[in-house]
Structures are given as C-alpha cells and as structure tokens.
Structure 1
Amino acid sequence: MQKTSIEIKGSNFTLLVLYIKSNNIDLINKSLYKKIQEYPQFFKNAPIILNVSNLSLNQINWRKIQEVIISHSFFIVGVTGCKDNYLKKIIIDSGLPILLEGKKIENIEQNIEQNIEQNVSFFYRTHNFENIINKKTTKKTEKTHIIKTPVRSGQKIYAKYSDLIVTNNVSAGAELVADGNIHIYGSVRGRVLAGANGDVTSNIFCTALFAELLSISGEYWLSDQIPLKFIGKSAQIYLNDKVLTINSLS
C-alpha cells in the first residue's frame, strides 16, 4: 500500500498577540520600535497574531499597517477580532487569514470531530494564542514527563496532558510547554507555558527565575513584567481570578 506524501493534523502553538489600537501609522511604528528595543532578540522574526478589534474603520489604511509591522521583522500569521465584512475582505486580499476565536472555535472543533467519525476525507483546523485562553480542559493529566538534561536554546519540550519536571537549567531561547504544571529545579531563562490546553489551575514552580516569558492558560508576562524582587529567586506562579500571581518559595 502506497504511503501518502502529506499528513494534516491539529496542533497547539504559542503565539504572541499584537493588539493594534490606533490607525496612526507613525504612532504604530514608534510604539513597535520602542517595544522591540527592550527585547530585540525576543521579538526578532517572531510569529504573531494581529488583533484589530480596537481599530476604527474610519480612514484605515490596512496595507500601511501591515507593511509597518512587517518592517519590524514580525511574521504575521493571521488576524483576529475583525467584525467588519469590508475590512475582512481587505485583510484576506492582502494574503492573511481571518482567525476565529472563543466559542466559535469550540463549535468548529466539535463539528470537525463529528465529521472525522463519519470518515470525511479532509479537514483543516486552526489554533492560536487566543484559542488556548478560552479552550476548556477536556482530558486529565497523565504520567509526569521528566527531563534530566539541560534544555538548550532553540529546544521546545511539550508535555501533552501531563505535568513537566525539569531537573536542570533552561537556556534563553528554549521553551517549556505543558498542559499541566511545570517544575524547574534549576535556573530558567527561556519561555515557560503551563496549562497550555486551558487548565487554569496549573502552576509554575522554579528555583531560579530569569524567564523571558511566563504563561498559564494564555495569561502571560514578559520578563519586564515579572516583579524585580523575584528575579533569580525561587517562585511559584499561578492564576488568581484569571490574573497571574507570583509568590516566593523560599
């Protein structure tokens, strides 16, 4: 039997969402430049989702907005938050997909699963940073995933339906993702994302906090948002009423 040359599957990816709140091209350009100067390596060639829910439709120049964002070395994956049909057409004509969010995504996924059971031959599923925020946990965590070696820059480790324990250091540019809790018994300088499938009860525990990004169930902090008194210290990060909260473990 001949094997197929391609395979299409659903998957989860952690993406930053850039909220555009002004039609002023110069203001957008200056704001992006200022933000990128803070963390040039973090944002360089970063894939992002654009949220345009706060944009005024009056005098909007979508092409210019798209060009100025790309000029700062961002890769635009798609656009969300667009409710105007005319703007949707402009965005699609510019080569970008419109991404659905919230309950609409859940309904689409349910329909896809039903169709799969009926042997429909082809499906396309879209996943983004905002899906993870709204998606409810449907499966329980399984056996804990344990990593004993250092996690190098560029490595990504995903513990699906599981907790993740790392007993070594995590370098800048590395990424830890788990549907459950994440424990790091070493210094962490990369990205740490717990509760990736929407579990708001997930926690992050670490013994030396220097992370580039911390996230639980889609709520996240960049390094400049982490309180300075916790940098380099042992800490627990969790959600309290959907707000990221940090406590000392020492």
Structure 2
Amino acid sequence: MTDALQANDRPAFQLKGTTVSLTALELAYFDEESFEAALREKIRQAPGFFRNIPILISLDHYQGPTAELDFFKLLGICRRHDIHVVGVRGGDEDQRRLARHAAIAVLPGSGQNDRPSSPEKGPETGPAAESGTDAPNAESTPANPAPARIVSQPVRSGQQVYAPEGDLIILAPVQAGAEVLAAGNIHVYGPLRGRALAGVHGQEEARVFCQSLEAELVSIAGHYKISEDLQERGWKAPVQIQLRDDLLVVTPLDRSPG
C-alpha cells in the first residue's frame, strides 16, 4: 500500500477536550463611539497585551437596551484594533439570537444569576430533625485541595504554563514574553518578568507572590495592572499582589497587607 493510501486511511482530524484561558470583555451597554474610545484607551495602556488577542464578550451584566446591541458594529471595531471576538457568553434569548445572526459562537452564561438564593434558616425539618440526630455538616468534612503544579525550570519567552485547578509554583524565573496562569495563587521564586494571571476562573482571593516584580502584566480574577502601573510600588522587590475593592494592591513580602 502506498504512503498516500495509508495516509487516507487515517482520520483527517480528532476532537479532544482542552482548556483555554480567554479574556472576557464584560459589556455593560453598547454605544459605538463610547465603546471604541474605551477600547482605544485600554489598548494604549497595554498594546502588547491586546495585539491579536482572542476575547469573549460577556453579557452576564449587560444593562443596555437589546435594540442597541449591534454585534456587527462591535465586531468591526474589534477587528480594526486587531482583537478577535471568539464568542458571546450569557445574555437573554434575543441577545443570543443577535449574536448567532452575526455568526458568533454562543456560550452559556456564568450561571451566577441563575443560582438559587440561599434559603433562610428556619425550623429544622426532615428525617434528621424528626429523629433528634444531628444533620451531617458538610463543613466538618475536610475537602482535598486541588494539587499545585510545580515547575522547576525557567519559563521562557513564548511559553505558557497553566495550572487549571490549583496553585502554580515556579522555582525559577519567568522570562519576558512568557505567560503563567493559575486557577489559584501563583508563586514565583525568582524574577517575574512576563505575564501572571491568577484566579483565572474568578477566584478573587487568589494572590501573586514573587521574589522580584518585573512583570509586563499581573491579573487577578480579570483585574489587571500593566508594567507602567506596577513600577509605582515594589518594583524589582519581593512582593505579594492581591485584589482589594476591585483594585490590585502590591505589598512587600516582609510586611502584612493590612
């Protein structure tokens, strides 16, 4: 059998599950001029971060009229600035229909608005109350924490290292042009020169620790600071970075954040 025939016997492709970190643009309302002006300002702050970046349009907190939600104009603005919209998340049925008409993939919402509210405490009912025995307490059973990913080699320019469930611990430098991401905390026992994104699934309690802050960008739960802002405090020093009142706070490692 010839090589060409053998090649034809193999499937042309395979489908595999994967995890990809995407930047979500949380849209509050859409006005063409306001949207482009705000986008220009974000790009001015971090031009390298936004160049050819794939983004997800989140409608989970959209408050504007659906009639003003023009996805064709929104896509055009993003393309002019080399930003690629790969999907829309959340929104109501009319908003999702508009996205489909613009040939944009539609993803389910984050689910935060759909979660039932916690029931108010009242008299105990059910088998545990009737029998007089204590109901099982879920908090009393310790849960196994997600394992940390430990990297002992330098993370070089162009590399991406991702810990999708727990903390990321790097026992070496993170070079400029590299990217490290984690669902939990990020620890860098060396200079942090690339981009560090902690709490990528929305964990606002996540922190970034490093022995020398020289980063291009640091993000926690979607809130970020670029190099220009980071140099104002703790630059080239051992620090921890945390989210407080929707702002990233940089604190020397030898002092409590308060």
> TM-score, normalization: structure 1?
0.71
Aligned to 1:8, the other structure's residue is in SS state coil
Aligned to 1:187, the other structure's residue is in SS state strand
CA distance in 2, matches of 1:210, 1:147: 19
Q: 2:223 matched to 1:220?
A: yes
CA 179–106 in structure 1, closer or farther in 2 if over 3 Å, else same: farther
| Residue-by-residue CA offset, 1:153-174 (whole Å, 9 max, x unaligned) | 2101123545433233222321
Unaligned stretches of 5+ in structure 1?
108-137
Does the 8 Å CA contact 2:167/2:186 hold for their aligned counterparts? yes
Matching of residues 66-145 of structure 1 within 5 Å: 66-83=75-92, 85-103=93-111, 140-142=145-147, 144-145=149-150
Identify the structure with bigger relative contact order (alpha carbons < 8 Å, sequence gap 6+).
Answer: 1
- Please name the residue that 1:156 is paired with: 160
Does the 8 Å CA contact 2:167/2:183 hold for their aligned counterparts? yes
Taking only aligned residues, the RMSD between alpha carbons, in angstroms, comes to: 3.2
CA 56–211 in structure 1, closer or farther in 2 if over 3 Å, else same: farther
CA distance in 2, matches of 1:243, 1:36: 19
The share of aligned pairs that are identical, in percent, is 28
| Residue-by-residue CA offset, 1:37-71 (whole Å, 9 max, x unaligned) | 22211110011111341332244433112211221
Q: Please report how far the alpha carbon of residue 22 of structure 1 lies from its aligned counterpart in structure 2 after TM superposition.
A: 4.2
Q: 2:142 matched to 1:165?
A: no
Q: Please report how far the alpha carbon of residue 101 of structure 1 lies from its aligned counterpart in structure 2 after TM superposition.
A: 2.5
> TM-score, normalization: structure 2?
0.69
- Given the alignment, which residue of 182, 189, 197 partners 1:193? 197
Aligned to 1:205, the other structure's residue is in SS state strand
| Residue-by-residue CA offset, 1:190-249 (whole Å, 9 max, x unaligned) | 221334456555432101113233234x24313155471123221112356886543211
Matching of residues 33-52 of structure 1 within 5 Å: 33-52=40-59
- Please name the residue that 2:179 is paired with: 175
CA distance in 1, matches of 2:69, 2:206: 41
- Please name the residue that 2:151 is paired with: 146
- Please name the residue that 1:207 is paired with: 211
Q: Please report how far the alpha carbon of residue 72 of structure 1 lies from its aligned counterpart in structure 2 after TM superposition.
A: 0.8
Number of residues of Structure 1 aligned to a counterpart in Structure 2? 215
- 1:164 maps to a residue whose letter is L
- Please name the residue that 1:238 is paired with: 242
